[in-house]
Amino acid sequence: MSRFGDARWQRVAAWSGAALAWGSTIAAVVLEPARVALTTPPPQVGAATTQAPLPAQPASGLLVIRYQPDAPEVIQTVAPSPAPTAAALAAPSPAAPQPKSSGS
């Protein structure tokens, strides 16, 4: 005779299935950005692009044209601020203000 009854085996199977489903969902959500990054080709900077002529209009249905920009993406960088001069370093900094008591 089994140590567990049929109801207990059903509960164990249900909870195990739920745990596997949750684990699979979490793994899919966590790994999705990595999968997208692997399937997306890296952009080619400075590569010459040629535009193909427009295809002929089909007799029925839709004609889908993909837009591909000519100019590469511009990335702006911030220039570092100039180093302080010797005169600015030699000038004494103003003293911190003294705390005021409210008298209570």
* Residues 94, 97: Cα–Cα separation, whole Å: 9
- Taking only the tens place, the pLDDT of each residue in 13-33 is 999 999 999 999 988 888 777
* Residues 61, 63: Cα–Cα separation, whole Å: 7
Residue 94, both tokens: 């103003």
Higher-confidence residue: 25 or 62? 25
Residue 67, both tokens: 């837009």
Percent of the chain with pLDDT over 90: 14
* Residues 25, 31: Cα–Cα separation, whole Å: 10
Locus of tokens 């007799």: 59
* Residues 86, 68: Cα–Cα separation, whole Å: 52
Regarding pTM above 0.85, the answer is no
